[in-house]
């Protein structure tokens, strides 16, 4: 009976020890937040991206453009909630423009920037 009690106490102690080690070590590594981008398109030619921006503007839809890897990316929004992103995507699709909702990861300290819809900072981060 003493051996079983010792084994149980040892197992609990080791679980607590390894659990706290895991949290301390991995909490700093995995501090990301998921966000959802309503992406309209990726264009090789800047004029094609500008045409899409004009279409979105004419339809009174939000639009943002950034350059990444020699491509021009047009997006309509960035959200922390996937359902909000899908709603916007549906509105845009109903107007005849194809789009996709893509999941992206940001560091957790960027969450407030997304909540404030600070697109200048968001675009800068997406461009890098």
- Tell me the pLDDT tens digit for each residue of 87-100: 999 999 999 999 99
Tokens of 3: 């051996």
**Long-range CB contact pairs, 89-98, < 8 A, 24+:** 89/38, 91/61, 92/38, 92/40, 92/56, 92/59, 92/61, 95/59, 95/61, 97/40, 97/52, 97/55, 97/56, 97/59, 97/61, 98/40, 98/41
State the pLDDT confidence band at 29, using cuts at 50, 70 and 90: low
Single pTM value for the model:
0.75
pLDDT in tens, 53-108: 999 999 999 999 999 999 999 999 999 999 999 999 999 999 999 999 999 999 98
């Amino acid at each position: 009976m003493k051996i079983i009690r010792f084994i149980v106490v040892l197992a609990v102690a080791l679980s607590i020890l390894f659990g706290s080690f895991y949290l301390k070590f991995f909490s700093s590594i995995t501090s990301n937040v998921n966000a959802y981008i309503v992406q309209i398109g990726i264009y090789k030619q800047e004029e094609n991206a500008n045409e899409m921006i004009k279409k979105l503007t004419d339809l009174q839809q939000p639009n943002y453009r950034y350059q990444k890897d020699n491509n021009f990316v047009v997006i309509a929004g960035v959200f922390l909630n996937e359902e909000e992103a899908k709603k916007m995507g549906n509105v845009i699709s109903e107007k005849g423009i194809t789009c996709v909702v893509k999941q992206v990861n940001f560091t957790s300290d960027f969450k407030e920037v997304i909540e404030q819809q600070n697109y200048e900072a968001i675009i800068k981060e997406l461009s890098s």
